Amino acid sequence: MEKKNSKINSNKIGPEIIRLMVVSIILNFSIASSIASEKLNVLFIAVDDLRPELGCYGVNYALSPNLDKFANTSVIFRNHYVQVSTCGASRYALLTGRSPNNSGAMQNNALHGGRTAIQDKQLPGAQTMPELFRRSGYETVLIGKISHTADGRVFSYNGKGDGRHEMPGAWDRLATPMGQWKRGWGIFFAYGNGKHREDGKGNKDLMEFIVEKDTDLPDGLLAESAISQLTLLKTSKKPFFMGLGFFKPHLPFVAPKQDWDAFEKITIPDPSDKKPFNSPYKHGSGEFFKYSTPYKKTRPLNRESANMARRAYLACVRYVDRQIGKVLIHLEKTGLSKNTIVVVWGDHGWHLGDAQQWGKHTPFEIANRSVLMIRSPGIDGGFSTNALAETLDIYPTLLDLCEPKFNKTHHPLDGVSLTPVLRKEKETVRKYATSYWRDAISVRSKTHRLVAKMKDGKIVNKELYDLSERLDTVDNVASKGSAILEELTKQIPNGK
């Protein structure tokens, strides 16, 4: 059989058909170009004092169904470490992308007042991550605690201050609702019915679970504000960067009654080790014990009291999990999830009675390890990674994901992008993770943590913890691990 000529004879095609073909090609090219140039939105969710005590991190007594569901579409970093185990300095590192070794920001005043304040210590280019997004054409919205203050304005705990923006140039809108508590630190240290720790009325109860509605407390109002803002942003012609910072499970432990009741039949294990750290960095849990408790305050807490405090913490986690769920559901309903990166981040870990420690403020594993989950359009999530990651890595990762149409006018960043891990191009992008606390530098490898006490730039004491089997170990093995000790010591800047 004779083959037919497969070449198209343009002379036999009518002008109308040619016109339609040209229009089709132009239309397809335009759509492709539009998709290629479309900027991704960012929803950055910070949760204060959230240690990896979630179902998706393998904790079967935690009640976190919404974050567990989110984990099914995101990448979970099981070994994420903050730069400093306190709120202000940890968030300074996140927002500026600068290591404490370079910035000197080690304390809570890193973001407001003091010599390392962003508004007082200007850097070349953009000062913070949200400011860089704003300079690049993004609409930026703040709700809750992303920097150190509870609402993005500078006031002291007693309400005094000039109310200036904690991060000048960062936000188009501050959309934190004050509710009955009227001011930032009031909503942060809130109890039910408009009471709060700093209202001058002596409210310092460790825990309270009396209200019925989510919106009877600030975190419920934050979720409502986020939903309203997402609806508004849906109609905007600009991409957006939203910072949404929830307060719980930070002290005091306050949540609706249903969250406390949910644990009535759940067995919560005792703290992992009753033996304290034999370290100069163990502390007296002062932030925790300054609150009034419904039980006898002993040091250490007895088993019943410790269990009650752990239940209160987990109840607050459940409350925040439900608020995050509401926001993520609305993100789906608006269709914004198709073009929005979502990051869930804990600003540090928390000793929940482990080794007789309650709180953060140590250079140990439990205080530095925190939650990090990232979901991005175009990246298949639903898996976890043991890759080491630092909070410093979040800034360059978001820059990577928001390319190519991005204005990179900013100061040098000290982290590395996690994008190769997200895309499964690499198993890890760093061999060590470094954290700081007062005069200590702590280096985490795949299996160990070195805690080195520094004086005048020299190491005067070393502690080494083998974390290959237990993350909460309190056994210092420095005398037994000379090779790994030497390896990690070399990672300390100017360490000797």
What span, in angstroms and rounded, lies between the C-alpha atoms of 474 and 460?
20
Looking at residue 152, its amino acid is G
In this structure, what token pair is assigned to residue 223? 């979720």
Query: Which burial class, exposed, middle or buried, applies to 270 when counting CB atoms under 10 A from its CB (0-12, 13-18, 19+)?
Result: exposed
What span, in angstroms and rounded, lies between the C-alpha atoms of 49 and 251?
9
Q: Choose among 94, 70, 211, 74: nearest CA to 146.
A: 94
Question: CA angle, 219 as apex, 215 and 221 as ends, to 5°?
Answer: 45
148: annotated active-site residue: yes
CB 224 within 8 A of CB 215: yes
For the chain, what percentages of helix, strand and coil (3-state, to nearest 5) are there?
35, 20, 50
Looking at residue 446, its amino acid is K
Q: Active-site residue among 56, 80, 112, 148?
A: 148
In the DSSP assignment, the letter for residue 126 is B
Q: Active-site residue among 56, 87, 316, 402?
A: 87
What span, in angstroms and rounded, lies between the C-alpha atoms of 207 and 316?
10
In the DSSP assignment, the letter for residue 255 is -
Q: Choose among 54, 77, 76, 75: nearest CA to 66.
A: 54
DSSP string covering 317-333: HHHHHHHHHHHHHHHHH
87: annotated active-site residue: yes
Burial 440-469 (b: 16+ CB within 10 A, else e): bbbbbbeebbbbbbbeeeebeebbbbbbee
What span, in angstroms and rounded, lies between the C-alpha atoms of 188 and 193?
14
Burial 100-118 (b: 16+ CB within 10 A, else e): beebebbbbbbbbbeebbb
Q: Choose among 255, 260, 252, 257: nearest CA to 189.
A: 252
Cα 41 to Cα 107, 234, 274, distances in angstroms: 31, 11, 46
3-state secondary structure of 3: coil
Beta strands 340-346; 372-375: pairing state: antiparallel
What span, in angstroms and rounded, lies between the C-alpha atoms of 135 and 409?
8
The dihedral over CA atoms of 242, 243, 244, 245, expressed in degrees to the nearest 10, equals 180
Measured from the Cβ of residue 81, the count of other Cβ atoms closer than 10 Å reads 27
Tokens 């040619």 locate to 18
In this structure, what token pair is assigned to residue 68? 């567990």
Supply the residues annotated as catalytic.
87, 148
